[in-house]
Amino acid sequence: MKKVILAFDSFKGSVSSIDIAEASSKAILKQFPTCEIHSFPVADGGEGTTAAICSALDVNEVFCWAHNPLMKPIEVAYAITQDGTTAILEMATTAGLPLLASDERNPLLTTTFGTGEVIADALARGCRNFVMGIGGSATNDAGIGMLAALGIRFLDKNGTELSPCGENLIHIAHIDESKVNPLLCEASFTIACDVNNPFFGTHGAAFVYAPQKGASPTMVDELDNGLKHYAHLLKDLKKVDISNIPGAGAAGGMGGGLLPFIKAELKPGIETILDRLHFREALHGADLVLTGEGKLDAQTAMGKALGGILNLANEVGVPVIAIGGGVETVDQLNDMGFAGVFSIQQGPITLEQAMKSEVALNNIETTVTQIIRVIRQFNSTK
């Protein structure tokens, strides 16, 4: 082999995509010492999106103060390109589920206000283009928190300003944009999301994702009713129907809730990242793509990172082999177009042991070594 592309998502809670690529490179170079290896850390709009995009860009890391999902002040980081025009951020840094302890999680009360504060900071620094990942949220506020931080007021039927959180979506009767940040109209957003769910309904933001954010069945119904009410209100007031836009339900409805107020394009997270990394161009002349994530299953090709990698590689005829900490639905994965899928586990082991970074990296290197040895043997017999 002359050229191999490495494009790994992280094995969440275990090892980073960069560490996985290093272990895989070591295994490849033992068998093909002159092989040209190109490594692309990837993500799907959630955790790691900013790092993945910035890996191929010349950026500066900047810091600002904002509020977490329960309005506690925190310091957060995001990136600005060297020319000062583009901000790259993840809403999860201010509104992500890991920011809250399990007993603090309540999507009726959580807010994306901090995300708006980060955007306001970037606008003040001169940024007018934004790339924003919206995966991993702790919220179900349809983005009204972010908009509130940028000067938009959400009022009940009596004209009283509402706290911008999930439980108040149902109470919104009027929207006051008279004090919106004037710089917002000059900005454009690429919103990277990792799901295709509609705004509300049985497949929408509340029913599918709110339970993992701490919602009880009663709370799910309340949140879904709020999303439905808000969508109808936006259709009346803003003449925009977000009900069934794919991805509108991402990040607790943030994916769709922002569209009537900002100049934005909602894109699959992996598509956004691969475009920025010029991944398609790197595929030319490649013999193989190695990819992987913590768990390979039926969700792998449904808007997630590996599905996007597979689609691009298949377009140019480069085979893709995937490895994972666990593998399910092998036949379905093969039907998707993977040349092969492999679990890195070497034998019976507890999940806690398997997720230790030194164990996982050793297993990754061993698995990749075996894959490459087969390829070398096949090439030598041609």
Q: Rounded to whole angstroms, how far apart are CA atoms 167 and 110?
A: 9
Q: Specify the amino acid at residue 134.
A: I
Q: Which secondary structure element, helix H or strand E, spans residue 205, and what is its range?
A: helix 205-209
Q: For 9-143, where are the E strands, in sequence order?
A: 36-39, 59-67, 73-81, 86-90, 129-133
Domains of the chain: 3-42+285-380 (3.40.50.10350), 57-271 (3.90.1510.10)
Tens digits of residue pLDDT in 160-199: 999 999 999 999 999 999 999 999 999 999 998 878 899 9
What DSSP string runs through 30-60?
HH-TT-EEEE----SSSTTHHHHHHTTS-EE
Tell me the pLDDT tens digit for each residue of 208-244: 999 999 999 999 999 999 999 999 999 999 999 999 8
**Mean pLDDT on 15-41:** 92
pLDDT in the model for residue 89 = 94
Q: 209, 240, 235: which is closest to 224 by C-alpha?
A: 209
pTM over 0.85: no
Write the pLDDT tens digit of every residue in 39-92.
988 876 666 677 777 776 789 999 999 999 999 999 999 999 999 999 999 999
Tens digits of residue pLDDT in 330-379: 888 888 899 999 999 888 888 888 889 899 999 999 999 999 999 988 87
Contact at 8 Å (CB) between 56 and 276? yes
Is the pLDDT score of 302 beyond 60? Answer: no
For the CA atoms of the chain, what is the radius of gyration? 22
